[in-house]
Structure 1
Amino acid sequence: MEHGNMTDIVESNSTECQMSSIDDFRNQVYSTSYSLITVLGLVGNGFALAVLIRTYRQSSPFHVYMVNLAVSDILCVMTLPLRVLYYVNKGQWYQGDFLCRISSYALYVNLYCSIYFMAAMSITRFLAIVFPVQNMRLVTENRARLVCVGIWVFICLSSSPFLMSGQHIDEKTNKTKCFEPPQNGKSVKKLVVLNYLSLVLGFVLPFLVILLCYAGIVRALLSRTSAARRQRDTGTKAIRMIVIVLLTFLISFMPYHIQRTIHLSFLSRNDTTCSERIAMQKSVVVTLCLAAANSCFDPLLYFFSGEGFRNRLSSLRRSVTGSTLHRTARLKPIEGSKPGENQQLKAS
């Protein structure tokens, strides 16, 4: 289930045709895309996390998942500048072996943590709408925290073997490389097996869970009686979440997983032409950028479908405004008094 190595294997090949044709395109697209994703991801998720933390007293199970998703996104985008430096330097790594391993690992962890947190949020919304009575007993903040811990442990442990591959020296160019694929056949075969494991456990399974939850939500909303339609706000938030999550999967996660699987099979063929290999590699660059961009879509999920997120934002704004007015009132001199009188009042 490794993200960096499985992705980067499709970015290079031993032939001069591919190396000379893809490097410039890869360096330009990655450096530009990762820079933009870093800025948008840090601003969006940082702002959302600040609002969620400042309004922690209004906590709920959905709030717990949003906090963990925001933390995952921030940890990921904080490593993207290292990738930008690598591609700006035209494939030369200067940051050391430890950061090489961590930056590849973090991107992978974010990708699959995002998928699993979205699945957990979808299940939570499903239970709230389809089984509202049981939801009060089954879904609690403590259980949501336990689910989040389980997701972090599962994803982090499943990716730990890939922390073992870091920087290496390219014998042809004598450059220090990172995010590059293994060159021997055994490593490639292992990577193909890991790809299918991550495809099933990291993408297909949670996506099927999400689709089943959404089918149940839509069915429940359509079959509501007029008396139950007073919960219109819950239904609206559910529809918004369905739209945002499905768009995130269709734009970020699905193209990457489909393209990665196809290309790993493509690499085993010996009858491919130079132009086919270049086109396939360029598609990998594009789909990986889209996968990394999921960090920019998640703030939309908080704002449009998060439980009371806009109310949290409004209450935070009111508290900040109130504290500002309070400080201003304390600093404002007493009307009609002179500076000397103010000093006497303070002394008294």
Structure 2
Amino acid sequence: MPMCQVNVTSGVESNCTRCPSIDDFRNQVYSTAYSLITVLGLFGNGFALVVLIRTYRQGSPFHVFMLNLAVSDLLCVLTLPLRVLYYVRQGQWDHGDFLCRISSYTLYVNLYCSIYFMAAMSITRFLAIVFPVQNLRLVTENRARLVCAGIWLFICLSSSPFLMSGQHFDPCTNKTKCFEPPQCQNMKKIMVLNYFSLVIGFALPFVVILLCYVGIVRALMSRTHTARRQRDTGIKAIRMIVIVLLTFLISFMPYHIQRTIHLNFKARSDTPCSEVVAMQKSVVVTLSLAAANSCFDPLLYFFSGEGFRNRLSSLRRSVTGNTLRSTARLKPIVAPVPGENHQMAS
């Protein structure tokens, strides 16, 4: 989503200020948070992606959305080690302008792709439970692929302003900076872009998700006697509701609310240093939480994904079967000793 980063994502002023620096706090929090997110995100999403790809023949529209969400998360966490190095080196960027732009861009593409893929998954689950007959005709794998392609295209294009800001030299610290672009002068334009991002990138899909969940809960509560398969679908839906809402409440909502408050806050000129420092620290915390959405998504696959655990079991059986067949082929054939089975021959 287009938005100038003007310290909204870094929480650190690019120019020399009269207020105390939060560089130590920022470097410690970001390096620790991004390191944990990298490890957990790589393991969780990498494992999920392997299972989803190896069991692709058991495809479904929900499976298509899960696969794209896992790819989005992996692309994001693969760039996080560059951020870790940057903050470990106390804000010194040594990896070139191109990687600076891509690292910033990828984080926000993942953020908004995750939101939209979750909305698509919620709509899919809503149709499956509330309109099961129409769902068979309306929701297909090919249409799910088209929706995913549309999401990727829309998010990648609307996030393109993040490619406009690369590395720059900061005369105050004599360091090459990244993720901390020079201050933009047109505050009005920044505010417009922020509200576009807030409404289209966050509020609209969140409202759609909430409406889907209201419909799902009402449909489940109205069913008194249901078949086992319907009960299993309902349980998966409830799990998805819990995980997605927690992800929004922990990762997405604090970041978007704080970012909007911060931009309005920056428009003031007579702000005491205590408020400036508190606001900058809150930026660091909320951006770390936003990046952590990559760690919540594997929970979504495992606890609410259509047959994900069944896919995992079938993959394990397939691997075990292949191993046993390979062992059988490699096992040497021992010729029988004459007279050894004389009892059976008699």
Q: Secondary structure of 1:68's partner?
A: helix
Q: Secondary structure of 1:185's partner?
A: coil
Tell me, yes or no, if the aligned pair for 1:115 and 1:203 is still in contact at 8 Å.
Answer: yes
In 1, Cα distance between equivalents of 2:172 and 2:76: 31
- What's 1:108 paired with? 108
In 2, Cα distance between equivalents of 1:337 and 1:283: 77
Deviation of 1:15 (Å)? 4.9
- What's 2:140 paired with? 140
Change (3 A) 1:83 1:335: same
Alignment: residue pair count: 336
- What's 1:341 paired with? none
Residue deviations 1:204-245 (CA, integer Å, cap 9, x gap)? 000000000000000000001314575100000000000000
Matched, 1:12 2:13: yes
- What's 2:314 paired with? 315
Deviation of 1:269 (Å)? 1.1
Moved more, 189-198 or 92-101: 189-198
- What's 1:290 paired with? 289
Deviation of 1:270 (Å)? 2.0
- What's 2:118 paired with? 118
Point out where structure 1 has 5 or more consecutive residues left out of the alignment: 339-348
Matched, 1:278 2:257: no
TM-score, normalising length: structure 1 = 0.93
Moved more, 219-228 or 194-203: 219-228
Deviation of 1:47 (Å)? 0.3
In 2, Cα distance between equivalents of 1:218 and 1:264: 37
Structure 1 residue identity aligned to 2:243? I
Tell me, yes or no, if the aligned pair for 1:4 and 1:105 is still in contact at 8 Å.
Answer: no
Change (3 A) 1:312 1:64: same
Moved more, 304-313 or 222-231: 222-231
Structure 2 residue identity aligned to 1:90? Q
- What's 1:64 paired with? 64
Moved more, 76-85 or 9-18: 9-18
In 2, Cα distance between equivalents of 1:82 and 1:230: 46
Change (3 A) 1:251 1:177: same
Structure 2 residue identity aligned to 1:199? L
Q: Secondary structure of 1:165's partner?
A: coil
Q: Secondary structure of 1:226's partner?
A: coil
Q: Secondary structure of 1:182's partner?
A: coil
In 1, Cα distance between equivalents of 2:145 and 2:195: 29
- What's 2:219 paired with? 220
Deviation of 1:190 (Å)? 2.5
Superposed, which structure 2 residues align to 1:145-164 within 5 Å? 145-164=145-164
Deviation of 1:67 (Å)? 0.3
Percent of aligned positions that are identical:
80
Point out where structure 2 has 5 or more consecutive residues left out of the alignment: 338-346
TM-score, normalising length: structure 2 = 0.93
Q: Secondary structure of 1:5's partner?
A: coil
Q: Secondary structure of 1:272's partner?
A: coil
CA RMSD of aligned residues (A): 1.7
- What's 1:344 paired with? none
Residue deviations 1:41-67 (CA, integer Å, cap 9, x gap)? 011000000000000000000000000
Structure 2 residue identity aligned to 1:144? A
- What's 2:344 paired with? none
Tell me, yes or no, if the aligned pair for 1:2 and 1:108 is still in contact at 8 Å.
Answer: no
In 1, Cα distance between equivalents of 2:2 and 2:33: 21
Deviation of 1:3 (Å)? 6.4
Deviation of 1:317 (Å)? 0.3
Change (3 A) 1:229 1:321: closer
Question: Which is richer in helix?
Answer: 1
- What's 2:93 paired with? 93
Tell me, yes or no, if the aligned pair for 1:4 and 1:107 is still in contact at 8 Å.
Answer: no
- What's 1:345 paired with? none
Residue deviations 1:237-256 (CA, integer Å, cap 9, x gap)? 00000000000000000000
- What's 1:38 paired with? 38
Deviation of 1:93 (Å)? 0.8
Tell me, yes or no, if the aligned pair for 2:16 and 2:172 is still in contact at 8 Å.
Answer: no
In 2, Cα distance between equivalents of 1:308 and 1:212: 25
In 2, Cα distance between equivalents of 1:2 and 1:134: 37
In 1, Cα distance between equivalents of 2:212 and 2:308: 22
Tell me, yes or no, if the aligned pair for 1:8 and 1:181 is still in contact at 8 Å.
Answer: no
Matched, 1:207 2:206: yes
Superposed, which structure 2 residues align to 1:50-61 within 5 Å? 50-61=50-61
